[in-house]
Structure 1
Amino acid sequence: MLRKQPPPTPAQPPPPGGSVSTVLRVLDVRNLTLLAVLAALVAVGGFTEPDQFLSTDNLTLVLTQSSVIGVVTVGMTFVITSGGIDLSVGAIVALSTVWATTVATQEYGAGGILFCAVAVGVGCGLVNGLLIAYGRMVPFIATLAMLASARGLALLISDGKTQVVDSKTVLELGYEESYILGVPPLVLIFAGVTVLGWLLLKRTTFGRRTVAVGGNAEAARLAGIDVRRHRLYLYLLSGLCCGIAAFMLIVMTGSGQNTNGNLYELDAIAAAIIGGTLLSGGRGTITGSVLGVLIFTTITNIFALNNLQSDAQQIAKGAIIVAAVLVQRRPSGTTET
């Protein structure tokens, strides 16, 4: 005897506010917090120096200044997400700018300068990756050694002098005539690197493996991930970002100096951390890192416009780092946006 089938359950309406909660999940509470901090800083800048801070020229300057350290921070975010650290990024940028602006390199024009800057960055990243992944050196020690070596080599090549760029093709990238729809080329490069970094971390197997290695390297190895090779790739990526940033810095300053990139490593690490990237690894966010860069650059700009001392600026940055970390603390996960 056939049993009578129960009537189908009517479809339940979506919970109220469901679309809002979905949007919040996409944006991430951390990023919303950073956006609020950035908006507050813009309000402070507009209140203290409305004529200067809110001008188009100044806002363009803030974005341009954010571009170089922003590209470095994208690479740093990947490294930290994997549970590593790279203290050599500033020194690699300096070495790349010096090597790419020698007389011999400039003879090959803009293409030669770009190629040399990227090649030096990737080469340094390769050395870091080999020492860490296959030499089993602690990332802190390996990259600290690279920091000292790269700074020393940059000083040796430049002899402590500023190397001026003669290539008009390179210098023209910094002129207003080269802006695309009013946007400087350097900002467009930064935007492109950010989008590619977000896609790589969020939408690819490479990004998922990066999070897995940072969360639990042994479990990742047992799952079939070649952890050592992946770490090598990550430091190559960081070196690539340093090379790109070096070329951008050459465009901005029109020169190469052994003092370039000073304290970039600290700014990049701080921006990534306040953006929500977990220092112990296993969680990373490109969006948050970029917002962290914009926050620090905006602080610097506000203090400069108001003629405030640099020591107060550093105190403000330190306070924001502590406050951002405390506000954003929550059980760690593996979500990256």
Structure 2
Amino acid sequence: MSERPLDVADVRSPADKAASSAVESAGAHAKEEQHPLMRLLSTSVGRNLGLLVALVLLCIVGGVTAGDRFLDGNNVLTILRLAAVLGVVSIGMTFVITGGGIDLSVGAILALSSVWCTTLATQTMANDTHWIVMVGAALVVGAGCGLVNGLLIAYGGVVPFIATLAMLASARGLAEIISQRRTQIVNVPEFSAFMGAKVLGMPFIVIIFVLVAAAGWVLLNRTTFGRRTLAVGGNPEAARLAGINVQRHTVYLYVLAGVCCGIAALIMIARTNTGSSTHGTMLELDAIAAVVIGGTLLSGGRGSIVGTVFGVLIFTTLTNVFTLTNRSISEQSLLKGAIIVAAVLLQQRLASRNSST
């Protein structure tokens, strides 16, 4: 007579079996009772759909409160131009936060890049130096600042908050020294013509934002670099054991954010024809807010480029509505703070529900 192989379930006590069945039934019950809206928002498609609905509602509010001034075509282009600077910086910030870091220095890096760029333009353009050198200077300065951030954090063991806070103060101070706290006006016709061009009626600086966002989406979602970013942000130790050089990858993320700041500095110069140490003031807070609203986890491990783009459009549209209705900056800051808190609370609630189910 053959014997049936002994199963682990056969040697469990009745109490263990009862506890196991209770846990399984509780998990199934929690899944059944989860609200359909919460299940939808827990997916990337649901989050993006919710952000789109919020943007549409905000546009309706803008049309009601500001009337034809908000719906005017020129005003729409103004919103998109404002979104270009914040949007490019936010794309870089998305990678940093997804990788488990934070960057408080993006506004100061933008200011330093713009000052360095315009100083080079005013001092050397008279010597027939091509304007592409000015563009390269902005990108190199941004990448250099990001490299310093990355090395301090990855190899120096400095906490990202402290390292980037130090860069914020240093970059802003260096920008003030170079510019002597003066706004530098730059007049390079070739650069202005290139950056001020329109493609199918759309300002070229907006096209730059679209291209950066598209490249960021491909990089995060369709490449090994993106998968490594998600792994490093989700669990650095597990990523290291999987063969990922966590330190080197962290440096890459901050260099990428610095390059985005350099691109944003060029857009700022194209919009204002100036370089100033005051450019990008408080930009880091708006960028972090746009990224968080877009569904990127502050703890790392999950990021959304599409969500970040929606977050940027929501913030710039909100700023435009407040400007057209003559609301104060203090009211804008108060509402932005409330939006950030609400987004973080929603993230925490969704995360707790997902972990419980």
Q: What's the TM-score, normalizing by structure 2?
A: 0.83
* Whole-angstrom CA distance in 1 between matches of 2:294 and 2:78: 22
Taking structure 1 as reference, are residues 49 and 173 closer, same or farther at Cα in structure 2, changes over 3 Å only? farther
Instruction: Tell me if 1:298 matches 2:317.
Output: yes
- Deviation (angstroms), 1:138: 0.9
Report the counterpart of residue 82 of structure 1 in structure 2: 99
| Structure 1, gaps ≥5 residues long | 1-22
* CA distance, structure 2, for counterparts of residue 92 and residue 135 of structure 1: 20
Aligned to 1:127: 148
Structure 2 distance, partners of 1:125, 1:321, is 25
TM-superposed CA distance for 1:319, in Å, is: 2.0
Task: State whether structure 2 residue 303 is matched by structure 1 residue 289.
Answer: no
Alignment of 1:79-158 (within 5 A): 79-102=96-119, 103-107=122-126, 108-158=129-179
Partner of 1:70: 87
Choose which of 242, 256, 272 in structure 2 pairs with 1:223.
242
**Secondary structure at the residue paired with 1:169?**
helix
Letter in 1 for 2:248: R
* Per-residue deviation, 1:26: 8.1
Is it true that 1:36 corresponds to 2:61 in the alignment?
no
Tell me the CA shift for residue 291 of structure 1. Answer: 0.7
How many angstroms does 1:326 deviate by?
3.5
Alignment pair present for 1:313 and 2:332: yes
2:277 is aligned with what amino acid? Answer: N
Structure 2 stretches lacking a partner, 5+ long:
1-39
| Alpha-carbon distance in 2 for matches of 1:262, 1:203 | 33
The Cα shift of 1:240 comes to: 0.6
The answer for the alignment partner of 2:36 in structure 1 is: none
Q: Which stretch of the first structure deviates more once superposed, 259-268 or 313-322?
A: 313-322
Residue 20 of structure 2 corresponds to none
State how far apart, in whole Å, the 2-side matches of 1:332 and 1:148 are: 37
Give the direction of change, closer, same or farther, for the CA distance of 1:140–1:106 in structure 2 (3 Å limit).
farther
**Which of 319, 322, 333 does residue 341 from structure 2 map onto?**
322
Q: Structure 2: how far apart are the matches of 1:333 and 1:98?
A: 47
| Counterpart amino acid of residue 58 in structure 1 | N
Instruction: Give the secondary structure class of the aligned counterpart of 1:104.
Output: helix
Cα gap change, 1:311 to 1:25, in 2 (>3 Å): closer
Amino acid at match of 2:351: P
Q: 1:26 to 1:169 in 2, by over 3 A?
A: farther
1:333 CA displacement: 11
In the alignment, is residue 194 of structure 1 matched against residue 193 of structure 2?
A: no
1:54 aligns with 2:86: no
Whole-angstrom CA distance in 2 between matches of 1:274 and 1:26? 14
Is the Cα contact below 8 Å between 1:105 and 1:116 reproduced in 2?
no
Q: Could you tell me how far 1:110 is from its partner in structure 2?
A: 2.3
Give me the whole-angstrom Cα distance separating, in 1, the residues matched to 2:201 and 2:230: 37
Matched-pair contact (CA < 8 Å) for 1:80–1:278: yes
- Letter in structure 1 aligned against 2:350: R
**What SS class does the counterpart of residue 202 from structure 2 fall into?**
coil
Larger radius of gyration: 2
Per the alignment, residue 228 of structure 2 pairs with 209
* 8 A contact 2:70–2:76 mirrored in 1: yes
Question: 1:247 — aligned with what?
Answer: 266
**SS of the counterpart of 1:86?**
coil
Does the CA-based 8 Å contact 2:195-2:267 persist in structure 1?
Answer: no
Identify if the C-alpha distance between structure 1 residues 332 and 32 changes in structure 2 by more than 3 Å, giving closer, same or farther. Answer: farther
Alpha-carbon spacing, 1:106–1:120, altered in 2? closer, same or farther (3 Å): farther
Cα distance in 2 for partners of 1:277, 1:192 equals 20
Distance 1:208 1:92 in 2: 27
> Do the aligned residues in 1 keep the contact of 2:41 with 2:47 (CA within 8 Å)?
no
- Note the C-alpha offset of 1:109: 3.8
Q: Secondary structure at the match of 2:239?
A: helix
1:169 correspondence with 2:190 = yes
Looking at structure 2, the residues matched to 302 and 47 of structure 1 have their Cα atoms a distance apart, in angstroms, of 10
Distance 1:330 1:105 in 2: 54
CA displacement, residues 117-166 of structure 1 (integer Å, 9 cap, x when unaligned): 00100011111111111111111111111111101100000001111111
**Deviation at 1:332?**
7.7
Identity in percent: 59
Tell me if the contact between 1:109 and 1:167 (Cα under 8 Å) persists in the aligned partners.
no
SS where residue 85 of structure 1 aligns?
coil
- 8 A Cα contact 1:106 1:166, kept in partner: no
* Structure (1/2) with the larger helix percentage: 2
Does the 8 A contact of 1:100 with 1:106 survive in 2?
no
In 2, Cα distance between equivalents of 1:170 and 1:132:
36
| SS state at 1:288 partner | helix
C-alpha separation between the residues in 2 aligned to 1:131 and 1:24? 37
